[in-house]
Amino acid sequence: MGSLRTLNTAEITYNSTYPSVGFTCTLASMGPPSSGNPTSTAAGLIDSTLASGNKSGYTITAGTCNTAGGVIVDYEWKADPQSVGTTGQRYFCTDASGVIKFHDSSSTTCLTGGTPI
């Protein structure tokens, strides 16, 4: 849940910093730059562990992202246990609403059938 909260905050900052891009649907775009100043492809908003897509026994992936006029207007992030029953029991998700939800069996239906936390 903490990682999804971090991603929501990072997305808001990213959208404010790069309004011609909008939100982003790649973790790398929010991750640290390899050298030099932050850019829209490596904004330095999340740490390298989270940017790798694996943190605290969960795999973080992008869900559906929509564009309008070439700008990404929303995002969805999903967090699935890497080993169900060992690294986690529930599936988590969040989107541009900022609400984090969980589902007992799938991150695919988390937004529509999940329970807000």
Please give the pLDDT value at position 88. 93
Question: For residues 98 and 23, what is the distance between their CA atoms, to the nearest angstrom?
Answer: 13
Q: What percent of the chain has pLDDT over 90?
A: 91
Could you tell me the pTM of the whole model? 0.92
At 1 the pLDDT is 84
pLDDT at 35 > cutoff 90? no
